[in-house]
């Protein structure tokens, strides 16, 4: 009996990603991961600006 081509290609391990799993991964990345990273970067930038203003004072000409 000959081994199947699919079984030989995957080494007999778990099957590859399905369309549903790929769609779920895309939706999680689109609506959770990417917006979360955007909020984290903007919040981090705001924190850095706030911290620098605490050290060096607000922007503008010297009083």
The dihedral built from the CA positions of residue 42, 44, 49 and 54, taken in this order, carries a sign that is positive
Classify residue 5: in a domain, yes or no.
no
Classify residue 39: in a domain, yes or no.
yes
What's the rounded mean pLDDT across residues 47-57? 95
Classify residue 8: in a domain, yes or no.
no
Q: In whole angstroms, what is the distance from residue 34 CA to residue 53 CA?
A: 29
Backbone angles phi, psi at 54, to 5 degrees: -65, -35
| Residue bearing the bigger pLDDT, 5 or 20 | 20
Classify residue 9: in a domain, yes or no.
no
Classify residue 7: in a domain, yes or no.
no
Mean pLDDT over each residue of the chain, to the nearest integer: 86
Classify residue 10: in a domain, yes or no.
no
Q: In whole angstroms, what is the distance from residue 37 CA to residue 34 CA?
A: 5
- CA 2 to chain centroid, in Å, comes to 43
Classify residue 28: in a domain, yes or no.
yes
Work out the percent of the chain whose per-residue pLDDT is above 70: 76
Classify residue 43: in a domain, yes or no.
yes
First vs last C-alpha separation in the chain:
89
How many domains does the chain fold into? 1
């Amino acid at each position: 009996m000959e081994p199947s081509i699919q079984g030989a290609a995957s080494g007999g391990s778990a099957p590859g990603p399905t369309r549903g799993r790929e769609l779920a991964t895309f939706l999680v990345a689109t609506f959770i991961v990417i917006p979360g990273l955007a909020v984290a970067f903007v919040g981090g930038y705001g924190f850095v600006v706030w911290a620098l203003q605490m050290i060096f004072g607000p922007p503008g000409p010297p009083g």
